[in-house]
Structure 1
Amino acid sequence: MLDLLARARRGSPDLALARARQREAVALLRAADAGDEPALSLGAVQEASRISVANGRFPPGIPRRTDVTAVAAKASWELDVWGREAAKSQAAAADVRAAKFTAEQADLALAAEVARLWFAVRGAREQLAFLETEFATRFREMELVERTVAAGLVDSDPLSSAKLAAAQAKVDEGLGRRRVAAAENALRALIGAAPGEPLPLARAPAAMPTFGAGVPSELLLRRPDLAAAAARLDAAVAREGAARADFYPSVTLTGQAGWQADPASRIGQGAAGFWSLAPSVDLPLFDAGRREANLEAARARIDGSAAEWTKAVLGAFREVEDALADLRELAQQEELTARVLAAVRERLANAEARLRAGLANESEVTLARRDEALAARTLSLVVWERRQVAVRLAAATGGGWSPK
Structure 2
Amino acid sequence: MTEAADPPFPNFPMPRECPFRPPAGYTELRAERPVSQVTLPSGNNAWVISDYALVREFLADSRTSANRAHPSYPSVLPRQPVSSQQAKGLLTWMDPPEHTAHRRMVVNEFTAKRVAAMGPHIRAITEDCIDQMLLNDRSADLVQSLSLPVPSRVICELLGVPYSDRELFDKRTVVILNHQSAVEDRMAAWQELRSYLSDLVSVKVQAPEDDLLSRLVKKYQDAGTFDHELLTGLAVALLVAGHETTANMISLGTVFLLDNPDRIAELREHPEHAGQMVEELLRYFSIADYSTSRVTTSDIEIGGVVIPGGSGVIALNSAANNDEKIFAAPEEFNAHRDARRHMAFGYGIHQCLGQSLARLELEIVFTTLFRRIPDLRLTTPSAQLSYKHNAAFYGIYEVPVAW
TM range (shorter): under 0.3
From the CA coordinates, give the structure whose radius of gyration is larger.
1
Bigger helix fraction: 1
Q: Give the TM-score normalised by structure 1.
A: 0.18
Q: Give the TM-score normalised by structure 2.
A: 0.18
Bigger strand fraction: 1
